[in-house]
A and B are shown apart, each in its own frame.
Chain A
Amino acid sequence: MADEDTTVRSAPAAPGSALLDEVTLVARAGDGDARAFEILIDWYQAAIFRYTYRMLGDRGAAEDVVQDTFVAVWRGLPGLAEPAAFRGWLYRIATRRAFDVLRARRPEVGLPMGTDEPVITVAAGISTAVDPAQLTIQRAQVQALQQALMTLPLQQRAAWSMQNLEGLSYDEIAVALSLPVSTVRGRIARARQSLAGKMWSWR
């Protein structure tokens, strides 16, 4: 997603001060700079929320995971050897916590989840579509995709979401899932095949 592209983002750590990039903010937050850390929260909290909300299908649980994730990030930052690897590491913490919540709900985590999972549906419109018929089609497409996502095995769902909805690289997803890049590629390919295979049925 373009708005999550960290390579072009910058922000002043204090009003009127120089613009700072992500690596600088991560390094400073690791040295205990609360202002730098707050900017990182501003940049990532919505993305981490969407990601975990998609995984869990529950607002309250997703907000708890977001909160736990950023607390763990704050405490873990001094030990992060490579600030440039921040995003993959952040998603790893969020993924592990989301998986923990799912494991607590049902023991068969890692196996394909049933279609009885709650599907996130949002009533808000998609403003880029002005034609009501087109809007209806888009809503149906989105709902079909959300339902299809919920039927994927957890790691496939997480990997596909991180690549296609969050804009993470294969390397970052490998860090997030603690898997080799080759395994991540395979999981995403299988996820894409499953999802594409299910998209014909939405009509």
Chain B
Amino acid sequence: MAVNDETRLGCGRPVEDVWATADLPPDAHEQTCPFCQDARHNLHELAEATDALVTQEAEAPEYAPDSRVKDLVMQLVHVEVRRGRPIPLVHPLEGTPPSLTISKQAVLDVIWRAADGMSGVRARHCQIELEAAAHKPGGPAVVSLGVNVAVAAGIPILEVTEHLRIRLQEQIASETGLSTRRINVTVEDLYDE
């Protein structure tokens, strides 16, 4: 290639300048300059080869990992699945350990499924806090939730988040028996449907 240092062609033009306009017709200098013609030609050659390599890799089975790779990862994921700390379902009597608990992960699943059943909202990161002060001994345990969501652009945010709050309260009560004291919904993102 006609490059006499790292950045300049034999004619003195920076190669990056020539490449920056490689999609345009050659200017008067480039029409006659063999260095610039070489540089333009080589870049087009590289672009063609890159496109061909992308196509080849996307189509050839040799460029996909064996299915066992994912299987092994998922086996480990299921072994290590983060259940989180257990949440008592019924507030225990003073001095006694909770006799019935639910994993934090199971409550998260209820939250995500409840949100997934609604259109226009996607539940993301969630926090679950046990509200010890609100407990009545022998009554259902009380939790507060923090739910980060993305909301579809153009829909009324107050309406959809209120709907989500009601839905979460109902689903958590019916599926786990837990009572929810407070549900903070944070809209962190908007998305296009």
Contact = CB atoms under 8 A, between A and B. Distances in A.
Interface in B51-86: 52-66, 69-70, 72-74, 76-78, 80-84
A130 interface: no
Nearest to A189: B16
Nearest to A20: B122
A197 B3 CA distance: 8
Interface in A94-138: 122, 124, 126-129, 138
B135 to A, nearest CB: 25
Contacts of A1: 54, 58
A196 interface: yes
* Residue among B38, B46, B66, B118 with most chain A CB within 10 A: B46
Interface residues of B, number: 63
Given A27-B125, A34-B77, A192-B43, 16 more contacts: A1-B54, A13-B116, A20-B116, A32-B84, A33-B109, A33-B112, A37-B77, A42-B70, A50-B57, A53-B63, A67-B69, A78-B82, A124-B59, A126-B55, A189-B16, A190-B6
The 4 closest A-B pairs by CB, nearest first: A27-B124, A197-B1, A32-B82, A17-B116
Interface of B: 1, 3, 6, 15-16, 19, 38-39, 41-43, 45-46, 48-50, 52-66, 69-70, 72-74, 76-78, 80-84, 105, 108-109, 112-113, 115-119, 122-126, 148, 150, 189, 191
